[in-house]
Structure 1
């Protein structure tokens, strides 16, 4: 959801507007995000209604995803790392659509951009400053789903020369093997009371190809003492679209032969992340641990031959082993929405673009895990929990109102039943950023939406 979307039929901005008040209304008003639903024409492959107008420039909030930070810092970092601003192309896309559709658009845009840059006067100047005086090649910098779009764009069926014209690919928190959270979103509100924004997210995603393309493609479903792949019938049982599930499985299978040139991945770690799931009577139960396999592909089991489960963690949305498929991996203790904004990740991107260093160490420092509600009621206390630490020394926390920077409160951390916790209460109906600074210098953040007391569960808003 990192691109702004505009409805060309109704001349309406659908996603990515500035202002917390708009964001609250979008999720809590009847039909607030109705324009994001796939139409019959779009499901038939006619994609003229929605236009992606740019990358996300403002903080956004989506249930389950712990907020999305803008790409402003990332774009500025890239621009200051190249020979001339004309060398940079921002690629926004309609993230509701199948990844394959956006991949074709990206392949065409990348070819046009590279051709134009090679003809630019600043390109020739930059070449003369290189020892080999080679022509420029492409470097893709992609966050989350953007990494899947990039990989698919390098399919030689779209442009047989694009692989050879690509110097490198940098992915940030990309779910190459999918994410359990996508299945949870599809299942939200089926028979269980959940806040209105969460039900609304499920409603617009039920027939969204882009969401189905993010479903787990690894063996993630615990069933009868074993673990297997999700099937279209499983997806149907939890509220998804079986045809879109089949299309997603075929798409991911077609991606296996595609290699990413000089692929470097930045991967979030140490954040509690769903890895496996169970389906009972059409209800999804997500698990923060998952199975791991031996080199021969068989699952690790205990002495009773039961599958063992491990807390691998990840960035809160994408678990580590789904994102860390590159030969060179830099791990950072960051949340999914912040991994494309954190200074450590931006420094790594600069080094790769400038070709003057390799990405940092294969394993980053520990930081800590951060768990908090994504939606809270104004005036009612709620808890923030930290994990992966054994001391509060050197750790500090802050809660900031994104509409009013003066509205800040220091978080008082304490030990509670063996866990580090802090209590928080907010009064304004706004978007807040939790920031936890750890002793080893990392800042882990999460966005939280505060709404009116009682409103999140009010059925009358449907």
Structure 2
């Protein structure tokens, strides 16, 4: 089989996966990962002000912020935690393509509505395909391909990038774009939203949280994209009933009713027509919030969802109570929300690391090369481990790292390293708690980003990023 593809490849990152540049102040406002920038962005009173949507931006003037490129270094955000760069994915795509010019990356302003970015993606993907079909390397590659046909588009989309891609192919204004697309591979795309988005919006008025969480909530309340990530499935426990969020609910937890209503209208239009054929990769085995209650404006999220039948009606037990079911996910998006079509490819991995995962990359290569065994083969098993760590800690304070999916300390390796390579530790002792989970205590030496890696001898490794911030940070809320 050919080891290259003659198709045109488009890489679409997830929320917070693009570096943003403020043209009015000549500064990067998102995408630098050094500790000084992180501390300034998340802990100073006006550290995230540049990320707030202005009235002009809400009215459609999107000239202030320019998305310059995909993330080049890992970053961190409250609730979403670590977001790995896309370097490995881009390098793989360029090595698999017939020529590096066949690969297009699509950085976008992830604060804006999905529909805005979808229209731009449709235009740029069309231009990219046309340019590649006339490229000197296209025809020789076409002659070596399995099918003798002009190049088509192949999208690799992470997280919210899958929503942008699907909207580009259905609502983007190019009626032929879907026909000119060979396939879409989505990585942890929240097709039905995520309860994490409710946690983000609620951080200003919920339980006391570290200051970065409140900073994010204030910015997120202005962002259409965060409201488009709110859950749209049956998730809100209300007595003996479970229902979907309403605009009033969103207003109560700190969101914007108008932005949520606009988001609902967008999804009504998107799902009114069939979505393109695609292959979802879904994260599994990670503790993931899947439902919530609201009491006096405070969100309480839970790590279980509710069974529904084929008509999407609640399944109830003998006492009439909705039946609960934990399905886990990737730590941000629960499994059912990411499974827009079947079969899916389940993989034990954290959300922000899916596009960088060592086990995902061979699957992406097979997809780019059009090896149909990936599509027709059975789903991989769910065996694997889960990793749960705090998203914000302070240096020199002990905190708990929890590993699920095994109770055998001898079969697990755990390591932690500073993202800049200045410090690492590999020797940890484990205890088994009452829930038969492995736990260990970790302390970090200084402010910065740290990557926790755990690996079982029977499955893939799982990674997550932790931000250690100054120990004099006040709580907010």
Note whether the superposition's TM-score is higher than 0.5. Answer: yes
Which of 66, 88, 97 aligns to 1:82? It is: 97
Say whether residues 1:428 and 2:435 are aligned partners.
no
**8 Å CA contact 2:284, 2:382 repeated in 1:** no
Say whether residues 1:22 and 2:40 are aligned partners.
no
Q: CA deviation at 1:355?
A: 1.3
Q: CA deviation at 1:371?
A: 1.0
Change (3 A) 1:258 1:92: farther
Counterpart position of 1:377: 394
SS at match of 2:83: coil
| Alpha-carbon separation, structure 2, partners of 1:261 and 1:61 | 32
Change (3 A) 1:170 1:259: farther
| Alpha-carbon separation, structure 1, partners of 2:460 and 2:30 | 30
Number of equivalences:
459
Counterpart position of 2:468: 450
| Alpha-carbon separation, structure 2, partners of 1:128 and 1:391 | 53
Q: CA deviation at 1:343?
A: 1.5
Q: CA deviation at 1:43?
A: 1.1
Where structure 2 has 5 or more consecutive residues not aligned to the other structure, the ranges are 1-15
**8 Å CA contact 2:432, 2:438 repeated in 1:** yes
Which of 99, 117, 126 aligns to 2:114? It is: 99
**8 Å CA contact 1:156, 1:163 repeated in 2:** no
**8 Å CA contact 2:398, 2:441 repeated in 1:** yes
Where structure 1 has 5 or more consecutive residues not aligned to the other structure, the ranges are none
**8 Å CA contact 1:397, 1:412 repeated in 2:** no
* Alpha-carbon displacement from aligned partner over 1:19-74 (angstroms, at most 9, x marks no partner): 23212221112211210001010111111110000001100000011210000001
**8 Å CA contact 1:399, 1:411 repeated in 2:** no
| Alpha-carbon separation, structure 1, partners of 2:415 and 2:163 | 34
**8 Å CA contact 2:115, 2:171 repeated in 1:** no
Which of 186, 193, 196 aligns to 1:178? It is: 193
Question: Within 5 A, what are the aligned runs for 1:34-183?
Answer: 34-155=49-170, 158-183=173-198
Stretch moving more, 441-450 or 362-371: 362-371
Change (3 A) 1:369 1:407: closer
**8 Å CA contact 2:190, 2:338 repeated in 1:** yes
Change (3 A) 1:142 1:394: same
TM-score, normalised to structure 1, is 0.96
Which of 294, 299, 302 aligns to 2:314? It is: 299
SS at match of 1:168: strand
**8 Å CA contact 1:217, 1:252 repeated in 2:** no
Change (3 A) 1:98 1:188: same
SS at match of 1:350: helix
Q: CA deviation at 1:327?
A: 2.7
| Alpha-carbon separation, structure 1, partners of 2:35 and 2:369 | 37
Which of 398, 404, 412 aligns to 2:429? It is: 412
Change (3 A) 1:130 1:191: closer
TM-score, normalised to structure 2, is 0.93
Counterpart position of 1:187: 202
Q: CA deviation at 1:410?
A: 2.4
SS at match of 2:209: coil
**8 Å CA contact 1:393, 1:439 repeated in 2:** no
Counterpart position of 2:384: 367
| Alpha-carbon separation, structure 2, partners of 1:372 and 1:69 | 16
Stretch moving more, 189-198 or 38-47: 189-198
Counterpart position of 1:240: 255
CA-atom RMSD in angstroms: 1.5
| Alpha-carbon separation, structure 2, partners of 1:430 and 1:408 | 15
SS at match of 2:440: strand
